[in-house]
């Protein structure tokens, strides 16, 4: 029996869509698995310690004029509650704008009030955030180190809640706390993005920690053991995800993690699509760089179970979903322009005929051949690919809304919009994923601008640190044009089954491209 594809190109499209479908299903099922395991999460007990050890607070800052004061003041309040003689605040200031004067004024004011504050200025951005944290680490003697990005405000009881976790068990290397939001209700982007961040901290992180999988330090709102950082090799700047990299190296070195879901540390969500793409792009490139760096150690580890290894691989490579999305879009476009509405296969079944002895003497080898044909609609495969992955993400987001009792119906628009945005930023993230995969250069740590926005009546447009258009926007514009042409072609050729798939991608690309143009062209200043 043999199977012969009538259209070789169609055969390639069909095979590629099968591979993509399997990949999407794996990542989708993993999301559902973590969502289910998160239901078994139980908050660790964190009793107040009888003796409080000294703690260092590391604050990496680079041109954060609008949020630096808020950050330092909240850390001072935290030190006041824990014991200001036990807390030393290190401000690692790489700024080259007015933020320097702001930091100097804050430091002088609180130092005169008896707080222990030190400013570290390296005179360079070498190693970016990782380089700044490593410079502070080399000057730190305290056994525990809290780390906060510039837009965070730790609650006053942060150290009282996290320090006991490190005291109780010497093998705990770091404690990660949940991020909450200052500007959740600011605009459409922050409302939508908040659900995605909530899902990570309410479902993914509890699911990983509760299952004994490796989990990541998120780079802020955490407390780390100095000894564990040193034994893992310190902060390293060969990836753009220094937090993910260090946390995996710490766990490979034998240290454990603790996750505190119920300790919320508010931060600022990106209010513009350009800042969101910058943040996501950095995370995408950095996570793939980290995967290249640490996955060999994970695979060959004798102390990790197969389930831990599998989950680690899924975690570290998750951003591969975005180039897979772009690939599925391109396959749908190719199928549309080639007018492939069905893929035809012929099955040749060969049956030997019944021959008489005289026939054999004459050398006859007659065979009866029966041909069976069947057809496969490629859009059915594409539909399965998109529907299965989308359902997993929708459930994941809906569950994040449900556990907070925010009202699923009230947030249904934001949930669907989050999925559309996911498709829309797939091009931007894919560029960064491919850079992480194939470039040996670390790249530049492009920070996400912060504007200290907490109310709807505040505006980011007239503030510093605006982001300009970049070359990726051109690719997004091309994708919008291709989407329009493909949908028009599908209508013209009555290849209607593939239109819903094209429409999903088109809606995402149009939304992201339009917002990028609108917000960038209204900005009057450029980030430095």
For the segment 476-517, what is each residue's pLDDT rounded down to a tens digit?
A: 999 999 999 999 999 998 888 788 889 999 999 999 999 999
For the segment 18-30, what is each residue's pLDDT rounded down to a tens digit?
A: 788 788 889 999 9
Band of the pLDDT at 258, cuts 50, 70, 90? Answer: very high
Q: What is the pLDDT of residue 339?
A: 81
For the segment 233-253, what is each residue's pLDDT rounded down to a tens digit?
A: 999 999 999 999 999 999 999
Q: Is 99 exposed, middle or buried (0-12, 13-18, 19+ CB in 10 A)?
A: buried
Single out the residue of 148, 200, 251, 263 nearest to residue 397, CA to CA: 200
Does residue 76 belong to any structural domain of this protein?
yes
For residues 194 and 115, the answer to whether their CB atoms sit within 8 Å is: no
Band of the pLDDT at 526, cuts 50, 70, 90? Answer: very low
Q: What is the pLDDT of residue 418?
A: 94
**Co-location of 255 and 176 in the same domain:** yes
Does residue 116 belong to any structural domain of this protein?
yes
Q: What is the pLDDT of residue 485?
A: 97
The runs of H, that is alpha helices, within 39-146 are: 68-82, 99-112, 128-137
Does residue 107 belong to any structural domain of this protein?
yes
- Total domains in the chain come to 3
State how far the Cα of 37 lies from the Cα of 15, in Å rounded to an integer.
33
Does residue 168 belong to any structural domain of this protein?
yes
Write the CB contacts of 204 (distance below 8 Å, at least 6 apart in sequence).
31, 34, 38
Q: What is the pLDDT of residue 61?
A: 97
Does residue 279 belong to any structural domain of this protein?
yes
**Co-location of 356 and 416 in the same domain:** no
Query: Strand 172-181 and strand 222-225: pairing?
Result: antiparallel
Q: What is the pLDDT of residue 494?
A: 86
> Does residue 427 register a pLDDT over 90?
yes
Does residue 297 belong to any structural domain of this protein?
no
**Co-location of 455 and 477 in the same domain:** yes
For the segment 178-231, what is each residue's pLDDT rounded down to a tens digit?
A: 999 999 999 999 999 999 999 999 999 999 999 999 999 999 999 999 999 999
For residues 21 and 378, the answer to whether their CB atoms sit within 8 Å is: no
**Co-location of 387 and 374 in the same domain:** no
pLDDT-above-90 percentage for the chain: 75
**Co-location of 183 and 241 in the same domain:** yes
Band of the pLDDT at 347, cuts 50, 70, 90? Answer: low
Look up the pTM and report it. Answer: 0.90
158 φ/ψ angles, rounded to the nearest 5 degrees? -55, -50
Does residue 108 belong to any structural domain of this protein?
yes
When the pLDDT of each residue in the chain is averaged and rounded to a whole number, the result is 89
**Co-location of 367 and 383 in the same domain:** no
State how far the Cα of 31 lies from the Cα of 268, in Å rounded to an integer.
25
Write the CB contacts of 502 (distance below 8 Å, at least 6 apart in sequence).
329, 332, 333, 336, 483, 486, 487, 490
Q: What is the pLDDT of residue 344?
A: 53
For the segment 289-341, what is each residue's pLDDT rounded down to a tens digit?
A: 999 999 999 999 999 999 999 999 999 999 999 999 999 899 889 988 988 76
Mean pLDDT across 58-63: 97
**Co-location of 57 and 177 in the same domain:** yes
State how far the Cα of 153 lies from the Cα of 155, in Å rounded to an integer.
6
**Co-location of 243 and 386 in the same domain:** no
* Distances, alpha carbon 121 to alpha carbons 97, 125, 238, 346, in Å: 13, 10, 21, 71
The pair of three-digit structure tokens given for residue 438, joined into one six-digit string? 């194939």
Does residue 291 belong to any structural domain of this protein?
no
Residue 237 domain boundaries? 51-284
For the segment 368-380, what is each residue's pLDDT rounded down to a tens digit?
A: 555 555 555 656 6
For residues 316 and 290, the answer to whether their CB atoms sit within 8 Å is: yes
343 φ/ψ angles, rounded to the nearest 5 degrees? -110, 120
Mean pLDDT across 404-417: 93
Q: Is 94 exposed, middle or buried (0-12, 13-18, 19+ CB in 10 A)?
A: buried
**Co-location of 225 and 371 in the same domain:** no
Beta strands in 14-54 (DSSP E): none
**Co-location of 359 and 262 in the same domain:** no
State how far the Cα of 59 lies from the Cα of 63, in Å rounded to an integer.
13
The pair of three-digit structure tokens given for residue 215, joined into one six-digit string? 């989990």
Mean pLDDT across 414-423: 94
Q: What is the pLDDT of residue 448?
A: 93
* Distances, alpha carbon 361 to alpha carbons 358, 366, 442, in Å: 5, 13, 76
Mean pLDDT across 431-454: 94
pLDDT, greater one: 466 or 350: 466
State how far the Cα of 174 lies from the Cα of 257, in Å rounded to an integer.
5
State how far the Cα of 30 lies from the Cα of 309, in Å rounded to an integer.
13
Q: What is the pLDDT of residue 1?
A: 40
For residues 341 and 380, the answer to whether their CB atoms sit within 8 Å is: no
Single out the residue of 331, 267, 310, 356 nearest to residue 498, CA to CA: 331
pLDDT, greater one: 257 or 363: 257
> Residue 252 is part of a domain; what is its CATH number?
3.90.550.10
Q: What is the pLDDT of residue 143?
A: 98
State how far the Cα of 66 lies from the Cα of 64, in Å rounded to an integer.
6
Secondary structure letter of residue 53 according to DSSP? P
pLDDT-above-70 percentage for the chain: 88
Write the CB contacts of 300 (distance below 8 Å, at least 6 apart in sequence).
none
**Co-location of 240 and 269 in the same domain:** yes
State how far the Cα of 56 lies from the Cα of 58, in Å rounded to an integer.
6
For residues 87 and 118, the answer to whether their CB atoms sit within 8 Å is: no
Q: Is 469 exposed, middle or buried (0-12, 13-18, 19+ CB in 10 A)?
A: middle
Q: What is the pLDDT of residue 522?
A: 62
Q: Helix 426-438 and helix 321-337: axis angle, to 10°?
A: 120
**Co-location of 352 and 219 in the same domain:** no
């Amino acid at each position: 029996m043999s199977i012969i594809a009538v259209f070789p190109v169609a055969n390639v499209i069909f095979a590629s869509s099968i591979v993509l479908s399997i990949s999407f299903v794996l990542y989708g099922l993993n999301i559902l698995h973590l969502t289910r395991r998160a239901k078994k999460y139980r908050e660790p007990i964190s009793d107040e310690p009888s003796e409080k050890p000294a703690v260092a607070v590391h604050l990496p800052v680079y041109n954060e004029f609008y949020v630096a004061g808020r950050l330092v003041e909240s850390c001072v309040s935290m030190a006041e509650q824990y014991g200001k003689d036990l807390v030393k605040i290190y401000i690692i200031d790489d700024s080259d704008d007015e933020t320097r004067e702001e930091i100097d004024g804050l430091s002088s004011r609180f130092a005169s009030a008896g707080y222990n504050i030190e400013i570290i200025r390296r005179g360079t951005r070498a190693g970016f955030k990782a380089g700044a944290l490593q410079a502070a680490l080399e000057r730190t003697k305290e056994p525990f180190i809290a780390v906060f990005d510039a837009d965070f405000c730790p609650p006053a009881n942060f150290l009282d809640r996290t320090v006991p976790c490190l005291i109780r068990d010497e093998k705990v290397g770091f404690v990660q706390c949940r991020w909450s939001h200052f500007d959740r209700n600011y605009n459409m982007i922050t409302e939508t993005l908040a659900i995605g961040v909530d899902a990570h901290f309410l479902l993914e992180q509890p699911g990983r920690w509760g299952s004994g999988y490796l989990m990541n330090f998120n780079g802020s709102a955490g407390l780390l053991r100095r000894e564990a950082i040193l034994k893992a090799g310190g902060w390293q700047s060969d990836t753009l995800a220094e937090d993910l990299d260090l946390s995996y190296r710490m766990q490979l070195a034998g240290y454990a993690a603790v996750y505190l879901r119920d300790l919320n540390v508010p931060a600022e969500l990106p209010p513009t699509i350009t800042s969101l793409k910058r943040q996501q792009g950095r995370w995408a490139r950095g996570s793939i760089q980290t995967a290249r760096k640490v996955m060999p150690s994970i695979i060959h580890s004798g102390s990790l179970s197969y389930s831990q290894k599998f989950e680690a691989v899924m975690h570290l490579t998750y951003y591969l979903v975005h180039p897979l999305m772009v690939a599925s879009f391109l396959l749908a476009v190719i199928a549309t322009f080639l007018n492939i509405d069905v893929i035809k296969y012929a099955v040749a079944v060969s049956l030997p005929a019944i021959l008489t002895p005289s026939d054999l003497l004459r050398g006859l080898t007659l065979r009866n051949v029966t041909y069976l044909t069947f057809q496969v609609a490629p859009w059915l495969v594409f539909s399965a690919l998109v529907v299965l992955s989308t359902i997993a993400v929708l459930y994941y987001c809906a569950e994040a809304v449900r556990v907070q009792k925010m009202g699923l119906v009230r947030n249904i628009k934001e949930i669907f919009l989050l999925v559309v945005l996911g498709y829309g930023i797939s091009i931007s993230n894919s560029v960064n994923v491919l850079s992480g995969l194939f470039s040996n250069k670390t790249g530049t740590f492009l920070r996400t601008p912060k504007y200290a926005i907490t109310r709807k009546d505040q505006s980011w447009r007239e503030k510093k640190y605006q982001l300009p258009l970049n070359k990726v926007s051109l690719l997004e514009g091309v994708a919008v044009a291709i989407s329009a042409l493909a949908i028009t072609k599908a209508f013209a050729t009555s290849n209607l089954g593939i239109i819903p798939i094209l429409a999903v991608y088109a809606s995402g690309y149009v939304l992201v491209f339009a917002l990028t143009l609108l917000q960038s062209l209204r900005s009057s200043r450029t980030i430095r």
